[in-house]
Amino acid sequence: MFEIQLNEQQKNASLHKDGPAIVLAVAGAGKTTTLCTRIANLIINYNVNPKKIKTMTFSRAAARDMKERFIKLFGGQIPNIHDVEFSTIHSFAYSVIRYYYRQKDLPLIIIEDEKEETNKYRILKDIFKETNKEYITEEQLEELLANITYIKNMMLKPKEIEELKNSIKNFSLIFEAYEKIKRENHYIDYDDMLTVAYHILLKEPQLLRGLQNKYDYWQVDEFQDTSRIQYEILKLLVKPNNNLFCVGDDDQTLYSWRGSYPKILLEFPKEFRGAQVYFMEENFRSTQDIINLSNRVISLNKQRYKKNIFTKKDKGLPVFIEEFNNEKTQIETIIQEIKAKSPSNEVAILFRNNFSALPFIDSFHEMNIPFYVREHKMSFFKHWIVKDIIAFIKFTYRPCSLELFNNIYYKLNAYLSKQSIGYVAQQLKEMDAKERENINIFDLLLTYPALKEYQKNRIIRLKYEFDVFKKENTSNFMEFIRRRLSYDEYLKNQDLTSEEVVNNTMGVLEHLARNVTTGLQFIDKVEALRLFTEKASHNKIKTIVLSTIHAAKGLEFDDVYIIDVIEDVLPSASSLNLLQKNQDVSELEEERRIFYVALTRARSQLKICTVKKRFNNSVEESMFIKEVKKFLNITSPKTRPIPKSQKHKVNPRELDISIYKKGTYLTHKFFGKGYISMVNQGIATVDFKSFGVKKIDIKTCMEYKLLS
């Protein structure tokens, strides 16, 4: 009946008909295939109405992919194949809420959209400000949101909320205030969709019964990423028959920070007495070399259930580790290799975070190579630093625009007051249109009576800098903005975002600025790139795929490149901090699972790529690379000896410094992070946050000598 010859374990699982069941499977074991086969089996062999089978997955993309896979496998055999429902638990919960609110004629306001007047970000920012009498930083907002998600998904009680590990001042008060505002105004955010739906189901037995009767069979894919609240919803829905069939792999739990709850896999048979437990340990996807390596990598995790993963496939091509000098050579080499491949090869470039994607997108754009980008958030294009850079450039060419000036004046180290800007606005109002077009905002500012001497000097200087830069009309605008306008200085002193985000955003911008000749060209390029990326996210041809590892979960490709496998990226800086501070391995193990998911996406060729420099900063290879090297028996080249003049005992590896331009950050483990304020004849004056100002001899480029 099926094209695929299932193995015994798969057969057993897919023939399961009634009652609860859990399938514990390894990566590439054919979980999706088995779920699809089971649906087909229920429909074809047991005449189950396709509308009566509900399959839930973790993400919308996964639901879509699964439906596609199902139709591909059984399209010819099931007449009403489109009636089979695939959705996320979230969208299901949302439909419950919508139905209920409509029935009760209640207003329902979703507060997820940042563009709307009322949105959760603004509400939380306001509450934070009112509670703590200070503005929230981007990092704090992120932590606040993550904590709220975690609380909701884990169904924490008030006492547990109070004990929740977090660095947000007055967190409980903020959380309560947020809940109150939502309650009083019928606001619903993404996390509420689950809790509100759950409470509706609890208090509306008729509605619940309706849903219980609507579906006879429930299936859940990626069960390891189900949160407690999602589990509780499922438990209600599947009653009284408990026809719940779940498949999962604890080694692929990627969302514990937002309440994924892998223990659920083991709890299942206790929760559902008499549940069948199936195992699937054969990997059908990858070659032996890939499986052996992935298996050894994941075995380093302590918090897991041991599984015996195996494959009957050939040994295949060896797994490669490639060390590139910088991100540019990484891109060039990979693109060259891809071009040499057969066009039918499915290739994926996988990365831990989106900063890695843009330089690739840029090269694909330049070379007009079509590709597909999966679930790209486009957040780079919306980032305030990117907006700032564009505003600086635009203002250079339109120094009469108060609108543009309003975005940048407080970032120019001129300490201009709102009153002075109000004064300028008033002056502009009194002019006719022609006059307004020809005025320079700096000239108007200079007529402001309450201007202090230092402000006057700074304004004169700024006007001069903008004028000169406009006349030069060169490609050197990043240098102009960062150093001549002291934007780096502003970034250093602001508290809105982390140094890591600043460095990465600036790094990407510098990278994109390479091949343009003027600032205006750069603006066009960023816009073109935004459109190109947007278009690539709808591309139907998916032979070259760019994706975060998270978004590639559940997918497979012939060839996989995992790029930027460097310390502080994969594994993330926060997982390493947690390990260092509290000896807590939980986040690091999640990072290793992320790495494992990436490794196991490849069918035949796997390349793990690392770089020595990224965006002009020296970086370290990931500890995961070291682990892989050990498994592959690759020995590292000897580290350079420490120069005699070195007075302090440090790890030789940490001497690799190659950034020494004025105004850059020097990331150095021995000293912590330092800001280079001056470079003179090879001597850098570096302001280390934790050690104060030090002078460093960097004449020897890759090595340095501490002078004081």
Ligand X SMILES: Nc1ncnc2c1ncn2[C@@H]1O[C@H](COP(=O)(O)OP(=O)(O)OP(=O)(O)O)[C@@H](O)[C@H]1O
Pick out the residues of the known binding site.
Answer: 25-32
Q: Distance between CA 598 and CA 606 in Å, rounded?
A: 10
User: Of the listed pieces 26-34, 85-93, 415-423, 606-614, which binds ligand X according to CB under 6 A?
Assistant: 26-34
- Interaction residues for ligand X, span 282-301 (CB under 6 A): 284-285
CB of 84 to ligand X, least distance (A): 16
> Any contact of residue 404 with ligand X (CB under 6 A)?
no
What is the smallest separation between the CB atom of 258 and ligand X, expressed in angstroms? 19
Q: Is the dihedral of CA 355, 361, 363, 365 positive or negative?
A: negative
CB closer to ligand X out of 25 and 254 = 25
CB-nearer residue toward ligand X: 10 or 503: 10
Least distance to ligand X, CB of residue 537, Å: 21
Shortest separation between residue 283's beta carbon and ligand X, angstroms = 8
- What's the order of all strands across the beta sheet hosting 705-706? 665-668, 672-680, 683-688, 692-697, 705-706
Give yes or no for a cis peptide into 370 (omega within 30° of 0).
no
Q: Which is nearer to ligand X, 11 or 180 (CB)?
A: 11
Q: How far is the CB of 382 from ligand X (least distance, A)?
A: 31
Binding to ligand X in span 517-576, by CB under 6 A: 554, 556
The amino acid that residue 627 corresponds to is E
The binder of ligand X chosen from 13, 22, 31, 374 (CB under 6 A): 31
Binder among 189, 191, 249, 620 for ligand X (CB under 6 A): 249
Query: Could you say which of 7, 95, 345, 586 contacts ligand X (CB under 6 A)?
Result: 7
Least Å distance between CB 335 and ligand X? 26
Output the known binding site for ATP. 25-32
Q: 69 vs 125, which CB is nearer to ligand X?
A: 69
* Backbone dihedral angles phi then psi of residue 112, each to the nearest 5 degrees: -90, -25
Cis peptide before 318 (omega within 30 of 0): no
Distance CA 524, CA 526 (A): 6
Question: From the CA atom positions of the chain, what is the Rg in Å?
Answer: 29
**Contacting ligand X (CB under 6 A), which of 9, 13, 14, 33?**
33
Determine which helix (DSSP H) or strand (DSSP E) holds 86, and give its type and residue range: strand 85-88
Choose the binding region for ligand X from 30-38, 47-55, 445-453, 668-676 (rule: CB under 6 A).
Answer: 30-38
Residue ranges of the alpha helices (H) in 135-170? Answer: 138-154, 158-163
Judged by beta carbon, residue 30 or residue 262, the one nearer ligand X is: 30
Stretch touching ligand X by CB under 6 A, among 29-37, 84-92, 444-452, 668-676: 29-37
What is the three-class DSSP state of 624?
helix
Restricted to residues 321-380, the positions that interact with ligand X (CB under 6 A) are none
The CB-of-556 to ligand X minimum distance in angstroms stands at 6
Closest Cα to residue 498, out of 163, 113, 52, 137? 137
| Whether 702 contacts 657, CB under 8 Å | yes
Would you count residue 5 as binding ligand X (CB under 6 A)? yes
Nearer of residues 554 and 663 to ligand X, judged by Cβ: 554
Q: Which of 13, 23, 29, 444 binds ligand X (CB under 6 A)?
A: 29
User: Which residue has 């920012």 as its token pair?
Assistant: 125
Judged by CB, which is closer to ligand X: 252, or 572? 252
* 131 counts as binding ligand X under rule CB under 6 A: no
C-alpha 24/C-alpha 100 separation (Å) is 36
Using CB under 6 A, which of 21, 22, 23, 27 touches ligand X? Answer: 27
Closest separation in Å from C-beta 317 to ligand X:
18
Of the candidate spans 1-9, 141-149, 165-173, 230-238, the one that interacts with ligand X by CB under 6 A turns out to be 1-9
Q: In 281-378, which ranges are continuous DSSP H helix?
A: 288-299, 327-340, 357-367
Using the minimum distance from each CB to ligand X, give the nearer residue, 389 or 562. Answer: 562
State how far the Cα of 40 lies from the Cα of 413, in Å rounded to an integer: 67
Number of shown-chain residues binding ligand X (CB under 6 A):
20
**Distance of alpha carbon 325 from alpha carbon 612, whole angstroms:** 5
CB of residue 35 to ligand X, shortest distance in Å: 8
Quick check: 30 binds ligand X (CB under 6 A)? yes
* Residue 251 engages ligand X in binding (rule: CB under 6 A): no
Rounded distance between C-alpha atoms, residue 355 and residue 340, angstroms: 26
Percent helix, strand and coil across the chain, each rounded to 5?
Answer: 50, 15, 35
Length of the chain: 708
Least distance between ligand X and beta carbon 117 (Å): 41
Which positions from 586 through 645 interact with ligand X, judged by CB under 6 A? Answer: 600
Q: Which residue is nearest to ligand X (CB)?
A: 30
For 569-605, the DSSP string reads TTTBHHHHHHHHHH---HHHHHHHHHHHHHHTTEEEE
Partners of 227 in the β-ladder: 260
Of residues 24, 25, 161, 508, which one binds ligand X by CB under 6 A? 25
In the beta sheet, which residues pair with residue 705? 697
DSSP per-residue codes, 616-643: TEE-PBPHHHHHHHHHTTPPPPPPPPPP
| Residue whose C-alpha is closest to residue 552's, from 297, 291, 392, 352 | 352
Cα 221 from chain centroid?
22
Nearer to ligand X, 31 or 352 (CB): 31
Stretch that binds ligand X, among 3-11, 233-241, 557-565, 640-648 (CB under 6 A): 3-11
CB of residue 591 to ligand X, shortest distance in Å: 18
Instruction: In whole angstroms, give the CA distance from residue 437 to residue 428.
Output: 10
Binding site for ligand X (CB under 6 A): 4-7, 10, 25, 27-33, 249, 252, 284-285, 554, 556, 600
